[in-house]
Structure 1
């Protein structure tokens, strides 16, 4: 007898098991900054430098604060040097273009001095350039003519026949004397600086800074001390230094300065060995340095007080200002981290 019942259903084909996606390797994380100093002024400034600085300021930071070698600093600086022995290419960010200019060369000497390389053939090469661009009285003009085709800050004077100025000459002469450089150019330039400093009856904070840069290393120390004493009295009488950061409105802005572009004791006395340190009491200096510490911004850098006129110059200037702030604080024994 035949079996009865439903016919069996045809077997259902098995669906293929979906393949699992090949696992991707984890995305590598960027190296973590130094955690032992996290949040310290130095660590925050280092983060800012790596975010924003040119190679030159990166190398300078490494030299000053991480035990770096001076050779990479000098290599980075050479990118700004021209065949005439001067420096250009916006080394001083407010002057754009390739042309050699005294402010670029002054900045280059400052860098060479900072790493102990301001002497020998380097200084000889620079002095030849300085000789070629000096005014008849042996001084340096603020800006050489013939650069109108390149952008420059609106507050930079560009004239056809510029005079020699203490503002341009004082820091250069001071740096060369500091490094015991002797060159024929220095004799007349030094005489110019003495005449300019000793004849100041009114002044501008930037000009006072230039005078201090000269006096701090001028060979005739008694004469430098006397000139500095007189200049310090002028600074206090004319209220050219903010002695109480809590009352900024009590200190007038100097002509041509931007809002907030005031000078403080630490701007004149970058280290306690400066002749300008005697101009201020211990309490005034402490308040000034406290203000400098407080100026560090959320991104880790210090602000540029001069007027902002274009994005790139403002960005390029801040790392240099940050390095100077750190060096000033360290010179006075402030803890950086």
Structure 2
């Protein structure tokens, strides 16, 4: 069973009525043969003069100032559309931001920054949060990987990125028992290493094996808990060729069925979280997140042949 054409069209209509320009450009790229240029133009609106990103690109944090986490979100958007032009101004300015050392502690970019506290945000992006997303891997693994793909191989920044990535590799191999979000960052780093053709610089196969084992260990197998904040297969397995799929094919199929059955009255999928203290702003971010969740669900369904 797949998502029927009329249900897909209903989601399409919702995007055209409600999505931010960036998410509409992403929709057109993925499902209407749209180009990368529109995504880059919309993404650039969130970039600051220092090259970093802010302005609620990460919809749970309305801080307009540049932050490592929001800049990593921009890197994920570029990775999503397979954008490889390292000379593009958006990428060059991102590299400038990363080379500046802003918001770093040694070889780690900060997960949260102090100015988050001054703007509407989810509680896990406050400086006093003890969220499990706090980790040396999040967002450092993503930003180091971005550097490996896009920085000039002869530059100081590339050397720094390689040093940081190798440090994360050593930590992960020795202590692979990560929670979901840090593991997602490791999986993204592995993607970047492969895109940069740098597998020989790392214990790449060992990292892959450790990541695959951790995926299997983390997955929540009780579908009754999938409507909450939990580690569903789709968080970590994105295609039949992805790490972890071979050992978890049955539960992936189970989630595909669950995804089709769990749409709300709008024909989309509801959030499993909310903020505290910023009800009006959360109502706006909730709509933004509906688009992000719909992308995740539709790309998951398409990767496994469930879009009719």
What range describes the TM-score normalised by the shorter chain of this pair?
Answer: 0.7 to 0.9
Q: 2:215 touches 2:244 (CA, 8 Å); kept in 1?
A: no
Q: So what's the TM-score if we normalise by structure 1? A: 0.74
Q: Secondary structure at the match of 2:43?
A: helix
> Please, what is the CA RMSD of the aligned residues?
2.7
Partner of 2:110: 141
Q: Secondary structure at the match of 2:118?
A: coil
Partner of 1:126: 94
Q: So what's the TM-score if we normalise by structure 2? A: 0.80
Unaligned runs of 5+ in 2: 129-133, 277-281
Deviations 1:49-70 (A, max 9, x none): 1232111101110111011122
Distance 2:303 2:150 in 1: 19
Q: CA deviation at 1:92?
A: 0.5
Out of 289, 303, 307, the position equivalent to 1:331 is 303
Higher share of residues assigned helix:
2
Partner of 2:119: 150
Query: Given the superposition, is the C-alpha separation of residues 89 and 68 from structure 1 closer, same or farther in structure 2, using an over 3 Å criterion?
Result: same
Distance 1:289 1:200 in 2: 31
Q: 1:86 touches 1:129 (CA, 8 Å); kept in 2?
A: yes
Out of 54, 67, 76, the position equivalent to 2:42 is 76
Q: How does 1:234-273 map to 2 (within 5 A)?
A: 234-237=214-217, 240-245=218-223, 247-248=224-225, 260-273=228-241
Partner of 1:275: 243
Q: 1:85 touches 1:125 (CA, 8 Å); kept in 2?
A: yes
Deviations 1:223-282 (A, max 9, x none): 233223234334444xx212342x539xxxxxxxxx71111122101223322324x332
Q: Which moved more, 1:60-69 or 1:282-291?
A: 282-291
Unaligned runs of 5+ in 1: 1-36, 250-258
Distance 2:238 2:285 in 1: 23
Bigger relative contact order, structure 1 or 2 (CA pairs below 8 A, ≥6 apart): 2
Q: 1:244 touches 1:287 (CA, 8 Å); kept in 2?
A: no
Q: Secondary structure at the match of 1:120?
A: coil
Out of 247, 260, 268, the position equivalent to 1:301 is 268
Distance 1:213 1:235 in 2: 14
Is the aligned partner of 1:228 residue 2:197?
A: no
Query: Given the superposition, is the C-alpha separation of residues 226 and 293 from structure 1 closer, same or farther in structure 2, using an over 3 Å criterion?
Result: farther
Q: Secondary structure at the match of 1:105?
A: helix
Q: Which moved more, 1:130-139 or 1:99-108?
A: 130-139
Is the aligned partner of 1:167 residue 2:105?
A: no
Q: 1:143 touches 1:157 (CA, 8 Å); kept in 2?
A: yes
Is the aligned partner of 1:103 residue 2:72?
A: no
Is the aligned partner of 1:212 residue 2:212?
A: no
Distance 2:271 2:296 in 1: 11
Flag the structure with larger Rg: 1
Q: CA deviation at 1:93?
A: 0.8
Q: How does 1:169-188 map to 2 (within 5 A)?
A: 169-177=140-148, 182=153, 183-188=158-163
Q: CA deviation at 1:154?
A: 0.9
Query: Given the superposition, is the C-alpha separation of residues 74 and 301 from structure 1 closer, same or farther in structure 2, using an over 3 Å criterion?
Result: same
Q: CA deviation at 1:216?
A: 3.5
Q: CA deviation at 1:100?
A: 0.7
Is the aligned partner of 1:94 residue 2:60?
A: yes
Q: CA deviation at 1:194?
A: 0.9
